[in-house]
Amino acid sequence: MTIQTALNDKDKRIDLYLSEQLSISRSLAQELISSGCVKVNGCITAKNYRIRGGETIEAELPEPEEIEAVPQDIPIEIVYEDNHLLVVNKPQGMVVHPAAGNPDGTLVNALLHHCKGRLSSINGKIRPGIVHRLDKDTAGLLIVAKDDQAHAGLAAQIAAHTFSRKYEAVVLGNLKDDFGTVDKPIGRSKTDRKKMAVTYENAKEAVTHYRVISRYNGFTHVELTLETGRTHQIRVHMASIGHPVAGDSVYGDKKNVLKLNGQCLFAFHIGFVHPITGKKMVFEVERPEFFNNVLEKLNKAYS
């Protein structure tokens, strides 16, 4: 791949510049530079090289690894199922679909076994049936499509913001108001391509409503309703107002005083219109064990 730098790129480190231009992690950009896969004006460069503006950069990218999900007999909790879709209660710690670093053991692997391969094909071989996702450490309800017609109908509802999703979380600090809305656009972080951020560049509208359930000394238990469904939306929005989700080291809880294994967040409610029958469907689940353990700890030590 060949990139022509501009004058307004002057003084940027080349590893950061490549991370932004190629949508790859900064560490991968550094690996490419160190292995001689990046040339500036025909010459191999160093990862601390700073852009001058007007250079020609040639980057040789590795071929993407082909990953195809395979069926695996992994127990999953099915909340609802019919011939067109199913609703799953995903546990904390389970990855939704295979990717680099997580080639198997995912929810998709379990679904392929449970559904005997009958899942929608819209998202390809890696994400069959997956209409929307939850982060690895976010537990809760997830809807899965068995056929393309159901998938398309559900995706249309998500796009139209008629697909309801509610979460509970424990966040750091004490929220000033009992009710509130965070209305800030979200896009890819400029400094870390693996993260999202509140930004007005190459961003999409994002709206999160919150309601305080209970307050503790230094923590708040909240209910959150998504009006939109951006990647990491709740985590980014709550961090942006100074109240990151407890246990979320990526977006602000660096100290992790509660000693959590991932963010204290779960999706307890999902609502949609069945894309085939037209029936209104609403599902809710109880708080998972890890979440109840956090609340118990807060009641004992932080009330």
CA 153 – CA 280 distance, rounded (Å) = 13
- Would 288 be classed as within a structural domain? yes
Task: Answer yes or no: do 111 and 211 share one domain.
Answer: no
Which tens digit of pLDDT belongs to each residue from 237-291?
999 999 999 999 999 999 999 999 999 999 999 999 999 999 999 999 999 999 9
- Looking at 40, 59, 78, the residue that finishes a domain is 59
Average pLDDT over residues 126-145: 92
111 contacts: CB under 8 Å, gap ≥ 6: 76, 86, 88, 119, 128, 129, 144
Q: Which of 1-5, 11-15, 124-128, 241-245 has the highest mean pLDDT?
A: 241-245
Task: Answer yes or no: do 184 and 244 share one domain.
Answer: yes
pTM greater than 0.85 (yes/no): no
Residues taking part in catalysis: 135
What's the domain range around 13? 2-59
- In this prediction, residue 14 carries a pLDDT of 87
Instruction: Please count the structural domains in the chain.
Output: 3
Q: By three-state DSSP, how is residue 56 classified?
A: strand
Average pLDDT over residues 7-29: 80
- Would 92 be classed as within a structural domain? yes
CATH classification of the domain holding 13: 3.10.290.10
Task: Answer yes or no: do 33 and 136 share one domain.
Answer: no
- Would 126 be classed as within a structural domain? yes
Number of CB atoms found within 10 A of residue 273's CB: 16
CA 140 – CA 265 distance, rounded (Å) = 9
- Of the pLDDT bands very low, low, confident and very high (cuts 50, 70, 90), residue 63 is low
- Would 279 be classed as within a structural domain? yes
Phi–psi pair at 4, nearest 5 degrees: -105, 120
Task: Answer yes or no: do 90 and 184 share one domain.
Answer: no
Task: Answer yes or no: do 90 and 169 share one domain.
Answer: no
- Would 177 be classed as within a structural domain? yes
Q: By three-state DSSP, how is residue 186 classified?
A: strand
CA 96 – CA 266 distance, rounded (Å) = 14
- Would 151 be classed as within a structural domain? no
Residue 215 half-sphere exposure, CB side, CA atoms within 13 Å?
Answer: 11
- Looking at 19, 37, 59, the residue that finishes a domain is 59
Cα–Cα nearest to 302, from 223, 175, 242, 215: 215
**Token code pair at residue 286:** 């109880």
